[in-house]
A and B are shown apart, each in its own frame.
Chain A
Amino acid sequence: MRRKSALAAAATAALALVLSACGGGGGTAQQPAQSASGGAAEPAFNAGLTSVFNPSTKKGGTLKAAHSADWDSLDPGDTYYGYSFNFGRFYWRTLTMYKTGPGPEGNTVVPDLAEGLGEASDGGKTWTYKLRSGLKFEDGTPITAKDVAYAVARSFDKETFPHGPSYLNELLAWPKDFKGVYKTPDVDYSAAVEAKDDLTVVFHLNKAFSSMDYVVQMPMTAPVPKDKDTGAKYKEKVVSSGPYKFESNEIGKKFALVRNDQWDPATDPNRPALPDRIEVQLNVNADDLDNQLIAGNIHLDIPGTGMQPAALGKVLPDPALKARTDNPIIPRLWYVSVIPDNPPLDNIECRKAVMYAADRVANQTAYGGELAGGEIATNVMPPPIVGQEKFDLYASEGNKGDVAKAKEALAACGQPNGFSTTMTFRADRPREKALAEAMEQALAKVGIKLTLKGFPGSSYFSDYAGNTAYVKKNGVGLAAHGWGSDWPDGYGFMQAIVDSRTIRPAGNYNLSVKNPEVDKLIDQASAELDATARAKLWVEVDKKVMEDASILPVVWAKSLLMRGKGVTNVAYNEGQSMFDYVLLGVE
């Protein structure tokens, strides 16, 4: 039986390959095992996770990349996607950046434009960065601290740049009358970000903040020359500070990068800059993109979030194709918010009953299983977060849920026969729907009856699960939810989803954690300058949340990334949670 099904699966996969070869415009998809020429590296599953796959220092060639949608914006002040932060480093440099390459070190930050990491003074309220000397824009003008400060100040204007992160808007001590460099061009913003001299940038913060080095690796600190700034139109012609510059740029269609001869490798220890040219196609159909990646017509899938379900069905059963993939755990948690707003879930024992009753394996399967979905999560912080500790307060045999303990908790809650509540999910996310169905089945076993309700993802947080009035009025008890971190430390991952003081009438991402002790620990952690002690405090936060039983972790997400054919120097970087794009080269 097993054998037969394996044969059938192989036959299906072979058929799929033939189909993909047709769809992808020919190619030799039938012999994926022979793709790596020269034998520099044998393709193996997860080969790019712990070491650089197919290492090379050979320069030249064209790296062909594709994106299944449009870029949010190519402007460093107006972009908020992980792929954009990752890819942008080809044409911009920021004060710090993630250490390139594989392994846990990818989570740490190293200086980029700056000589060293930031120096905190005033108890963490002032951060000073010294720039390297000899830095130049693509037109040969030197990059100074003024250009960095200007870039930070221009990113403040969220009407002109709606996409970018707003961390620096909230962290820095902006003058009251500053409304952005375009609306109030004469207001001096040096109270927030200041160019002390040509090579010194100083940030003045509202309150002590310890993770500043992680914030300044974001592209808001990529220098922008004031005389070349065209506001919202700057994305059409970005002035490069990195190893590549724009040759052409058709917004929404494609663009091409070529070498920037003003970039001096001596000032940049992080980027090998191997290809001569980088071509990017936009708005390529996602399934077609996967097929072209498998066939080798495209080297790189820019979004870096993993292959589509259709491609997974053909890649995973085929050992040769599977050997070309990496399957990292990314800093993203899929979970269920257990909302304490309505009875009986305001009683911690009833929330614990949910924790025990949930079938973690079924939940994992709902999310796509072990490879495409993720690892069963037992606590909030995912493993790639700095200092994460794994613990399990609600362990059960084989992770299948513990009916006896759930019933005990129900009895302690005064609901021995169970209760009814509503679970929300995003109707346009099939995995969340599958999760809701799995929860309904598992909880029914202990007498908890779930009514499942799907809502459009675009208004899920504004009108439904993240709207406190709606939750109260409609008796929502559980809500499918997911969260990824902007940077891989405790603050970057946890703050937005566990700090009860962020809760507003609508648009909440923290749906269920309302614990003053958690809030106190968050304050302690974000003021702690010692990295080890800080990480420990975030683990404490994690434990408090789990004790409170207000978050039911489902999976720490994994993505399945395929290494392009003929691509050298491929390594998964934990900081980027995808392949490290600036390392890539072509054979």
Chain B
Amino acid sequence: MTAPLDVSGSAAEAHPEAVLVGAGKAIQGRSLTRIAWMRLRRDKLAMAGGITVILLILVAIFSTPIIAAFGHPPLEFHQDQIDQSTLLPKGAFGAMGGEFLLGIEPVNGRDVFSRIVAGAGISLLIGFLATILSVVIGTTLGVIAGYFGGWVDQLIGRIMDVFLAFPLLVFAIALAGVIPDKGFGLEGNSLRIAMLIFIIGFFSWPYIGRIVRGQTLSLREREFVDAARSLGARNGYILFREILPNLMAPILVYATLLIPTNILFEAGLSFLGVGINPPTPTWGGMLSEAVRFYTLPHFVIFPGLAIFITVLAFNLFGDGLRDAFDPRAH
């Protein structure tokens, strides 16, 4: 009898909470996700972070109408607003006001508000996609390493060590400097964005990978895995139906915490002039220009705040998420 037994729902049965479900409908059982959500809702900081993240995503998605409504095109020069001798905005506080909500840049006179809104899309896009890439690679390799152990674990573990020891920043600078104009069916900045996502995502997977491996190591000794195995379930089944669903919580938590790291990394590369090509606005690029004009507070503060708020929001939300899923880590 080689056909697998009907083990559907065995994952649910394995949950301690599932016992409650099985005990009868009288007591409404709560899934882990539901419990976590209740805990999360009580965490005001995490909720604030989460709402900010959602707002940021909305801003990034609707950047074009927002700019049209409240600002000027992000690439448009307004040099008539610039004092030709000092190159600073003529108006007080960087020409902040109804016309330019957050003032204008020195030299070119571009609208700071529009550029920050337009920059949100790139920062979040790179942050999310790079994280997804590292989560996919990290989870796959982490689960395999943790589940199979032995030489597979040894090999993957050493690969992770190599990647963690890799001088990522130096490598990224070198690689970003030689990205061609065309390739992989992409062109110009879309190719650069794709390359940045690849560089950042491909080199940060071991962080997720190690956590997943550790979790898998403990999960594979659990009874429900033993049960599935003794019932003749194949490795693939156990990996993806038994173990992976139980890893979702830590993966979600660490992915949320990895996003701000990746956003910061992109900002760092743009700051160093090896990120996205100008004149496309990025937060890091704006900050690096602002360094030249540090006597002009608005120009440094707003892109800096944008990065700060984004990173803080993701971190607060990620921390809250972790506490919600695993209160003992508090």
Tell me the A residues contacting B by CB distance below 8 Å.
Answer: 1-2, 4-5, 8-9, 12, 16, 309-310, 312-314, 316-317, 361-362, 365-366, 368-372, 422, 427-428, 430, 433-434, 436-438, 440-441, 451-456, 474-475
Chain B residues near A365: list those with CB within 8 A: 79, 82, 84, 87, 107-108
CB of B278 within 8 A of CB of A369, answer no
Known: A369-B85, A452-B277. A434 touches B75 (CB 8 A): no
CA distance A313 to B295 in the complex (A): 7
Instruction: Name the segment of B6-14, B23-31, B88-96, B142-150 touching the other chain.
Output: B88-96
Quote the shortest CB–CB distance from B171 to chain A (angstroms): 15
Of residues 234 through 292 on chain B, the ones whose CB sits less than 8 Å from some CB of chain A are: 273-274, 277-279, 289, 292
A427's contact among B82, B107, B108, B273, by CB below 8 Å, is which? B273
Quote the shortest CB–CB distance from A473 to chain B (angstroms): 9
**22 A-B residue contacts at CB 8 Å?**
A2-B90, A5-B91, A8-B92, A8-B93, A9-B86, A12-B295, A309-B292, A310-B293, A365-B79, A365-B84, A365-B87, A369-B85, A370-B85, A371-B85, A433-B273, A438-B108, A452-B277, A452-B279, A454-B273, A454-B278, A474-B181, A475-B181
Tell me the B residues contacting A by CB distance below 8 Å.
Answer: 75-77, 79, 82, 84-88, 90-93, 107-108, 177, 180-181, 188, 273-274, 277-279, 289, 292-296
Chain B residues near A1: list those with CB within 8 A: 91
CA distance A354 to B226 in the complex (A): 73
Chain B residues near A430: list those with CB within 8 A: 289, 292
CB of A437 within 8 A of CB of B278, answer yes
CA distance A441 to B110 in the complex (A): 12
CA distance A475 to B279 in the complex (A): 19
**A309: nearest residue on chain B (CB-CB)?**
B292
Q: A438-B108, A440-B75, A454-B273 are in contact. List 16 more A-B contacts (CB 8 A).
A: A5-B92, A9-B88, A12-B295, A16-B295, A310-B293, A310-B294, A313-B296, A317-B85, A365-B82, A365-B87, A368-B87, A369-B85, A437-B108, A440-B278, A441-B77, A451-B181
Known: A310-B294, A422-B181. A316 touches B79 (CB 8 A): no
**A440: nearest residue on chain B (CB-CB)?**
B279
CB of B107 within 8 A of CB of A434, answer yes
Chain B residues near A9: list those with CB within 8 A: 86, 88
CB of B274 within 8 A of CB of A366, answer no
Quote the shortest CB–CB distance from B94 to chain A (angstroms): 11
Interface of A is mostly: helix
CB of A427 within 8 A of CB of B92, answer no
CA distance A5 to B278 in the complex (A): 30
Known: A1-B91, A427-B273. A370 touches B84 (CB 8 A): yes
CB of A453 within 8 A of CB of B107, answer no
Chain A residues near B90: list those with CB within 8 A: 2, 5
Chain A residues near B77: list those with CB within 8 A: 362, 438, 441
CB of B88 within 8 A of CB of A313, answer yes
CB of B273 within 8 A of CB of A428, answer yes
CA distance A313 to B294 in the complex (A): 10
CA distance A453 to B176 in the complex (A): 11
**B75: nearest residue on chain A (CB-CB)?**
A441
CA distance A368 to B293 in the complex (A): 12
CA distance A475 to B188 in the complex (A): 13
CB of A474 within 8 A of CB of B79, answer no
Chain A residues near B76: list those with CB within 8 A: 441
CB of A369 within 8 A of CB of B87, answer yes
Chain A residues near B278: list those with CB within 8 A: 433, 436-437, 440, 452, 454
CB of B188 within 8 A of CB of A451, answer yes
Chain B residues near A362: list those with CB within 8 A: 77, 79, 108
CA distance A484 to B116 in the complex (A): 37
**A442: nearest residue on chain B (CB-CB)?**
B77
CB of B92 within 8 A of CB of A369, answer no
CB of B107 within 8 A of CB of A313, answer no
Chain B residues near A5: list those with CB within 8 A: 90-92
CB of B293 within 8 A of CB of A313, answer yes
CA distance A316 to B214 in the complex (A): 62
**B274: nearest residue on chain A (CB-CB)?**
A427
Quote the shortest CB–CB distance from A488 to chain B (angstroms): 27
CB of B177 within 8 A of CB of A369, answer no
B277's contact among A4, A366, A368, A454, by CB below 8 Å, is which? A454
